[in-house]
Structures are given as structure tokens and as C-alpha cells.
Structure 1
């Protein structure tokens, strides 16, 4: 009935064109006044409701317990479509307009389309996978619709047919090219000659270097018009089994495209960035290289690259930048007698955009370091120049608290465990994620070993250690609705931190040495500490929180490192996943409280 229904929204984007048309043809629209009951508990539901505008409350049959609120684009009640009757009551909280999808059609679509059905699976990982697949399809569509224009056309070298093999080789070398077009003759079309052609002509066919290239050129050259789709250029190369095509503008030849270049137009060029970092000889050169990192993140993210892959790649790039800064600032004679470690999200390999500096220095016992304070001040300043903000908590190497000889660090760990207060446990939590990035990494090993030995199976210490994960409430209302303050929804405190810190505590308890939260979750599942589904859901929830926060930071100019999400900017699918993910966090916190006997 309604042509205005948006079938691009998940899960309806999983339907085929024919199925989407059946859905549109079968939809009805219904209006409900404030207080009307849409579905009564214990009664069968004959349709799936999709809210156009308004608000609906899900409650127990007696109305005493509220389960959830639904608003524009939300749908309900899927469970009643798969069962004989509805378990809860659904009441309009205001005048509400809904699409009605008949139950028989919903069940037919559910049974005939596995991807559509999988969206309603309770597995957060599966639902997130479907959304990521949809995003990749969108990025593929953008690739297909990119046109051949001046920004991607390569200039080409055109040589006369009489040019000999030696002269052609020299020209290609001078121009830094690996192919050239050969002028058309009276009866011959344009030809093409490559370095491979030249090599084969001389080495395999034993032709003299004075042979004219017209005799060995390949023709005709496959061409494509300027303004055509880049995807068509790739199709032409594939169909004709060639790696290059010429580009024409009307009758005029304007350039070339090669397969490597077409593919590179959609690559991230991360290898170029790392090469620039490696070649930097001054802080200024390093700063220029580091400044392109945010563009790399945006390119990866906007092309649908998996969040974990982005984090791993950026962690590697950050490590190279910090290690290069260390080598530029710290005297060379001392570089192998100390170890620079990063902590926090950088130490866990979970940083995407540059966050506050969290670092420390371990100095080899017996090493005297005149001017240590000035060097560490310079290193902190240099990292700040490179885009790493100063840490408000002063967890940086310009703070003497975080610069010690190895034996002093070992003594400090014992002191933390002896005192056992929340402050000491938070400092210990910071060190638990330490990762060596420069200098001698062996200096960190005994410190990490002692830290794990001190905390393993220490129930009282671990309870104190874990308590901060329970401090911040999950941003869900009493009715299970997303809860935002005036600045938005605090996803770091309400979602990210409880997972990261709770998993960190469990990793210390069970001797899991890896820093990365996702790897820790996998190992906790392998050790049977967490159910496999629980670990998977926590992993997917954390990825979602990071992705949603990053998306808003990239979308907002000078967005900085704000931790709050603007829920109104999220589409219905993301709101649904966010609500589901926060319920996963809520259950995990309840489990942690029981596991460590924390009662606040």
C-alpha cells in the first residue's frame, strides 16, 4: 500500500526486490490514540508493527513492570509472530501511526530469506555482521559509480612507430613509466608497448636494439571514454585480459588507466604512511607524516574495513610514530638501556584516533642518566606536537611518578598490592595494559610477570580492582530506553569502560597475559571463564561502541575526542544495536558483581 516505506533500512534491505515489492504492496497503515492497546498480553498478534511516528510502551500484562519504549522506525513484536500469542502488552504513549505487516507475509519472508531471518537472531554478533555486510555493499556501490575523470587519468607517453627498442627503453626510464602508446600508422590503430614487451623482444626473440617498436607493439589498444564509470574500465581490462586501457575524450586521446592504479584508488596507502615515518629524520618531517593518520582512519572506516582491523593497523602506525619520536629525542647511547611503554587504549591496541598520552619509562638498573627530566619533558612535548594530547591525569614520562628504574617499578607493584586501595588498584590497572614500543622491551617482561603473579586468584584485591567498572551506570532508563544527558549518551563510561576494565580484571585473575580486550575475551571463553556467546556479545558490543563514537568524531569537524553519542543522529538499526549492546553490558556488570562479591 505504501510506496514511501523505506526498504533500505535493515532488515528489509536483506529482502530481494521482488520480496520488497510484496512487502510494500501488503503494508497497511493504522492510527492509535494515546492510551490505546495495540497488542494485549496473552492474545495473538496478527501483524508486525513498524512505527512511523509516535511512541509505544512494552509492559507486563498488569502494567506494573515496564520492559521497553519504542519510537520512530522501531518494530515490534517479532516474538509474537513466531509464537501463538504475545507475552507482553503494547500501549500507545501518544498518538501513534504505524505500518502493519501481515503475519503470514512476515513468516513467509522469515522462512524464505535466511539473511532476513538472521537479523532477528538474538546473537549480537550475527546482527552486527549483517549490518557490516550492508555497509560493504554500499561502499561497493560507491566504487561502481565512480567516474573516469582528470583526478584518476594518468598521463601517457606516445612514441612514433619508428622509435627503436633502445630509445623506447630510455624514454620509459626517463619518464618513470612502464608502458607507452605507439602512434597509429596509415592502416594500423594505436598500439601499446610495455617494458615486458621490450624485454621479451631483446632477450627471447633476439631482436636487435635498433628494431622499430612498431614491429613489436600490441594493437589495437582497448579504450574507454572519459566520464565513463571506473568499474567499466575494470570490466574492460578483465574481459580483454589486459592491464591497461587508453582514455579518450571524443576523438582525442587524453591518457591511460592501468589495473594497479584503479585498485590503488581504493586502497588506504597505509604502506606509504609507514614509509614516510621510517624516512623521517626530524620532528617536523615526522609531524607531517603523522598528520595524515586521521585521513587514513577516515579512508579505512568509510570503505567498510572491519573495526578490529582498523585498530590493529592504527596501533601499528602509532607504535612506529612514537618509536621514531623516541629515537629522535632520547640520546642514542641510552636507547637500549631503557624501555618506553604505552598504556591505556594504545597499550591494548584499541586506539583509532589519537587519544591522551599514557606512557611510562623503565630504566635499566645501574644506569645513570644526567638530564633525564629535560629529555622526558622534550619527549612529552614532541608527542604533543605529533598530535597526542597531554594526559589530564599526568600519566606521562614528564611526571617522575611514571619514570623509574626496573627495581623501583618492581617495588612499586608490591607497594600497590600491599596498600590495596582503589587509587593503587587504578594505577595498577594502567600498568596492566603496558606495551613496549621503544628501547629494550625485555625490561618490561619481569614487571608484567610480577603484576600477574600478584593479582592471580587474589579475591579481595581483584574485588577492589574491579569496583570502578561498577561505578558508572549503564545509560539505559528504567524502561530499557537509551538514556542521554544534555551532552549526549556517555558511551565511554557507560559502555566501553565496564567491558574493558571488567575483562582486564578477569584476565589478571586467570593469568591471561595479552593486553587486547578482544583477545582477552577469546581466551576467557577458551578457559571457560565466560560463556562463548557472552564473550562474543561483549566483543561485538565493544566494537559497536568504538565504531559509533568514531563515526561521530569523523562526521563532526574538529570533533575531538568527545565520549558522548548524539543518539538522535543514529538510524533505527544503530539505535536498536546500541540498546541491545548496552543490555549486554548491564548483564555483564551484574555477573561481575556476583563473581567478585561486590555490593555497593
Structure 2
């Protein structure tokens, strides 16, 4: 039997060691010449075919309808293994070599291993879950090998041994700290005092506020070294039943770690970044914090954190960065008189790596702000400095088209809807995803309400609005095979945009206020606009597109704006999922065309 079959690939990695041995022992190899009919319509199929090399075409009995092409690592015909006969014809397009897995073995594995069976289920969410689970073990090592460094060490307050309790308490409160090291005049060199120690000393032990802090300091202080693993720091806290450790850089104290922070670092690595953003007092300090965001995304992704969680976390961090930039650039007296809003993927909370700036400004009616153009130019430049690229379409606050008083915005929305052209509908689409991140956020709500009123139940306008979702073809060949150009497979135009824009149109039609595509899908399902299976498959397809694009951007250090996938980097299982997901998009586009009666 063949000795090169890779059982580490999904779904075979779901099998136990004994089941994998059973599978590999049962495998045979067959060779087919170009033009050979491997399986014919209504023919009993006694084995599952796994292509080693070559290409196979799936067609109707007369060959006039082509359903799919299969190539290396692809499997066929799974359906016939469960239905006893084949519905379609499978023909070798070139000399083809296949593994043959007997039907009886396949069916036994299918029935005895739930995860193996789930891979062949038609539900995209279950298949994606299997791939995610397959990656968890290989990510575990990276997860626990994060090191203690300047990025995650907290500042540490050190007080002399004779400092009184009242002074220590005042210093800790002013610096926002809940513990301090006490410099002793004996060995060991340091002790530690916490807010709990201070509270117990005064309230329970009735010590006077003038008591030297050395009398209540706890020793010894558990230490870890800078450059050690965070996992070891957590183990040291657990073994010694303490919540804090001091960090040493050689013989010098470099700072402190506490258990809550370490747990936060293990789960997201975002704790320190959030603090750095909050503490930034200059654009330069904010830029240094924003610059570590790429590494955060990479860490989260490599640790197998779910895509939706990553997007939610990054959206929150982006909002904090942008709001801080707004506060540093915009004069304080204008903070409550205008509203800065983001749009596009940022407005939907679906951005992972930084993409084009898409933003606008609402100024409170009656406010005269002559310096606004200069301030907005500076804010655009500042965001660019923080890593947010300029928008090629100039949807930014340094473009006066996107800066208006509230009443002007309301009038503009009415005029866009009245014009009803594809250009004005796209402008409304941009505004439909707006999200207030800084300033007086209440200024945005009347605009959103007015926009929804202009489009809800307006079938003709919504047909024009939706048309761009059908403009770009799904990157599949006539034979159902993945279609890629010289730059790769255009996943944004062919996969992401049709889902995002189509769901945006349906949300406006049914007056759903949420911006996020995944939330919109859930609400559309609840409103019975979409079938549960349709909503689930669209959600999983969108997550897959975002995940595959992100991984290639991280692995190959691609520009954050790169929208093409190199399908040669994908495994057989990922190609299978991608092909399945694009068929989901194709079917959704057909449904949209029918729903809005769009005929080209």
C-alpha cells in the first residue's frame, strides 16, 4: 500500500491513530489515461478517489453541463459513498493518479468519527471549525513562549523603608498603583506592600498613619528575570500563591507583573497596548503605541484566536487610537461641538490590518469654525502618520465634501436619495456604515435615522443601491474551479464586497440599524429575511475570506491593502473551503438579483 499518504491533512487528522492505520492499510493506487471515464452516471461507486496528480472533470451524463474540476489532493465522489451510486460522470482530463479508499472503510470511518463525518457535511461553519481545531495544537507552543519585555512590564514604585503609611498611600493613589516595593535596610533588599496591606494595617491592626512601611512589608518578593517566559511568571505566582512578581534586569528592578495582567497578556496581548494609548500625551507616543498593533494582530492570529474576536478587539483599539488623535489635534473647545465618524470596514468594526482612511465630520449647527479646514488637514496627516493610509477616493475630513454642519448633512442625504444614481447610492452606502468615534457622538444619530427613512422599503432606490454587489464576477470558472489572474484571486471584489454590500442593502430595506455585517446577518435571519442556513454560510464565507487574506498579508508581509489571494499557498482543504464559500457567494448574488429584480 502507499506509504506517502498524508494523514495530517483535514479531515484525516480527525481520526485516531488506529483509524489512520486502518485507512492507510486499505488504500490502493489507480492510474487513468486522459479521456478515461472514472465513474459514470448511475454507476455503483465502490471507492472514494483522492487525486495524487492529474485533473478530473465532473459533468452531467451527456457532458453538456460541467459541475466542477478536481486536482491534486481533491476528493470525489463523496456523495456516491453514501448513496450507493453516482449522480454525475467523472472523466480524466489528463493522465491522473489516484488513491482509492474502499467504500466500506470510508463509511465505517464516517459513522464512527463525528468530526470526520462533519467535514463532508454541507454546512460551511462545521467544516471551518474542523480546520480551526486542527491548527490549535501547532499554535500552542507559540502561545506560551511570549517573553517578559519592556512592552509588558508595569512601572514599579519603590519607597524607602522609613516612609510612613500615609505617605505611601498618597503616592500609590497619585500614581494609580496598587502595590509598591519597599527598600529595606536589611536583607532581603526589598519587601512589597499592597493596598490591602495598608487597609488591614490601619483598619484592623489599628496602626497609626505614621508607622514606617517596613513594619508591614511582606518578604521575600518573588522575582522573575527580564527575557524569561511569561508562562514561567504565571507559574511562579501560582506556586508561591502571590499575585505579583518583581522583574529584574540583571541586579536592577525593571518593573512588576501582576497575575491579572499576565492572564490578559496570554489571552490578547492588548492590555499593555491599551494602557500605552491611554497614557500617550504626544502624537509621537501615540504613533509608537499604534505601531505595535500589527504585532498584536499577528500574535492573536497565530494563537488561533477566532477572527470575529480579533476584529472586535482591533476595532476597539482603533477607536481608542483615533479618538486620542482627535483629542490631541482638535482644539478642546470644539470637542463637544463636532463629531468625528469612521466609515467603511472601520465603521462596520470589520477592519483587522489598517486600511484606507474613510472618515467624515459633523459640525453642530450654529457653530462657526473658520480654522476647521486646517485642523482637518492636520488630523488627516496625523492619522496617516499613525499608519492609516490615505483614501484614494478622498473620503476623508481634509476633503470638504465630507465635512458639513448637521443640517447640511441631512439635506445632502435627501438630495442623494432624490438623485437615485449609482454614484449617489454609493455615497449613501459609505454613510450607511458610519460610526462615531470622537467628539459629540450624539450628532450622528439623526443622520442615521434620516438615511434609513430615505431608503427603507424603497424598492427602486434599493435596486440601484444593490446593483454594485452584482457588478464583479465571482472568481470561479465555468467548471466551478477557482479562478485567479496574474495578481492572484481577487477576494475583495469577488467575495467580500458582494456579501458586505448585499447585506447592507437588505439591512437598509428592513431598517436594521446595526453596522456590523455579522450582526446584520443575524438580525436578517431573526426577521426571517434570510434562511438560517443562508445566514450561517454567508457568515462563515466572509470570515474565511477575511482570514485567508489576513494570513497571506501576515505571512508574506504584504501591503495591508492587498486584496488578492495566491491560491498556491493554500492547502487542499482550504482550497476546498474557498471554492465552497465562493459558490455560496454566487448563489447569494443570484438571490439578490431576483429579490431586487435587477436585470443587466
Instruction: Report the TM-score range of the alignment, normalised by the length of the smaller protein.
Output: 0.7 to 0.9
Matched residue, 2:508: 508
Classify 1:500/1:23 alpha carbon distance in 2 versus 1 (closer, same or farther; 3 Å): same
Classify 1:450/1:231 alpha carbon distance in 2 versus 1 (closer, same or farther; 3 Å): closer
Classify 1:427/1:151 alpha carbon distance in 2 versus 1 (closer, same or farther; 3 Å): closer
Query: SS of the counterpart of 2:50?
Result: strand
How far is the alpha carbon of 1:461 from its aligned partner? 0.3
1:321-332 equivalences under 5 Å are 321-332=321-332
TM-score, normalising length: structure 2: 0.85
Q: Is the 8 A contact 1:312 1:349 kept in 2?
A: yes
Matched residue, 1:571: 571
How far is the alpha carbon of 1:74 from its aligned partner? 0.8
**Counterpart Cα distance in 1 of 2:360 and 2:507:** 22
Matched residue, 2:517: 517
**Counterpart Cα distance in 1 of 2:262 and 2:492:** 39
**Counterpart Cα distance in 1 of 2:331 and 2:149:** 48
1:105-144 equivalences under 5 Å are 105-143=105-143
Matched residue, 1:556: 556
Query: SS of the counterpart of 1:266?
Result: helix
**Counterpart Cα distance in 2 of 1:364 and 1:243:** 49
**Counterpart Cα distance in 1 of 2:434 and 2:579:** 32
**Counterpart Cα distance in 2 of 1:67 and 1:198:** 73
How far is the alpha carbon of 1:151 from its aligned partner? 11
1:384-403 equivalences under 5 Å are 384-403=384-403
Matched, 1:531 2:492: no
**Counterpart Cα distance in 1 of 2:71 and 2:315:** 39
**Counterpart Cα distance in 2 of 1:245 and 1:341:** 42
Q: Is the 8 A contact 2:148 2:229 kept in 1?
A: no
**Counterpart Cα distance in 2 of 1:454 and 1:283:** 40
Classify 1:195/1:16 alpha carbon distance in 2 versus 1 (closer, same or farther; 3 Å): farther
Residues 52-91 of structure 1 show CA distances to partners (whole Å, capped at 9, x for unaligned) of 1111111111211110011111111110100120111111
**Counterpart Cα distance in 1 of 2:283 and 2:536:** 42
**Counterpart Cα distance in 2 of 1:232 and 1:22:** 41
1:154-169 equivalences under 5 Å are none
Q: Is the 8 A contact 1:56 1:93 kept in 2?
A: yes
Name whichever of 1-10 and 443-452 sits farther off: 1-10
**Counterpart Cα distance in 2 of 1:330 and 1:151:** 31
1:157-306 equivalences under 5 Å are 263=263, 266-306=266-306
Classify 1:562/1:143 alpha carbon distance in 2 versus 1 (closer, same or farther; 3 Å): closer
Matched residue, 1:492: 492
**Counterpart Cα distance in 2 of 1:577 and 1:598:** 29
**Counterpart Cα distance in 2 of 1:272 and 1:290:** 12
Q: Is the 8 A contact 2:264 2:271 kept in 1?
A: no
Q: Is the 8 A contact 1:474 1:494 kept in 2?
A: yes
Q: Is the 8 A contact 2:474 2:582 kept in 1?
A: yes
**Counterpart Cα distance in 1 of 2:374 and 2:258:** 52
Q: Is the 8 A contact 1:66 1:479 kept in 2?
A: yes
Q: Is the 8 A contact 2:40 2:89 kept in 1?
A: yes
Name whichever of 230-239 and 418-427 sits farther off: 230-239
Matched, 1:53 2:32: no
Query: SS of the counterpart of 2:438?
Result: strand
Classify 1:43/1:516 alpha carbon distance in 2 versus 1 (closer, same or farther; 3 Å): same
Classify 1:235/1:56 alpha carbon distance in 2 versus 1 (closer, same or farther; 3 Å): farther
How far is the alpha carbon of 1:137 from its aligned partner? 2.9
Residues 495-546 of structure 1 show CA distances to partners (whole Å, capped at 9, x for unaligned) of 0000000000000000000000000000000000000110111011000000
**Counterpart Cα distance in 1 of 2:39 and 2:259:** 58
The count of aligned residue pairs is 573
Q: Is the 8 A contact 1:143 1:231 kept in 2?
A: no
Q: Please report the RMSD computed on the Cα atoms of aligned residues, expressed in angstroms.
A: 4.0
How far is the alpha carbon of 1:3 from its aligned partner? 2.9
How far is the alpha carbon of 1:494 from its aligned partner? 0.4
Classify 1:416/1:260 alpha carbon distance in 2 versus 1 (closer, same or farther; 3 Å): closer
Matched residue, 2:376: 376
**Counterpart Cα distance in 1 of 2:464 and 2:89:** 42
Classify 1:238/1:335 alpha carbon distance in 2 versus 1 (closer, same or farther; 3 Å): closer
TM-score, normalising length: structure 1: 0.85
Matched, 1:101 2:101: yes
How far is the alpha carbon of 1:141 from its aligned partner? 5.0
1:32-111 equivalences under 5 Å are 32-111=32-111
After TM superposition, where is structure 1 displaced by more than 4 Å over at least 4 residues in a row? 141-144, 146-152, 176-180, 192-207, 227-246, 256-265
Residues 301-337 of structure 1 show CA distances to partners (whole Å, capped at 9, x for unaligned) of 1111111111111111111111111111111111111
**Counterpart Cα distance in 1 of 2:369 and 2:237:** 62
Query: SS of the counterpart of 1:333?
Result: helix
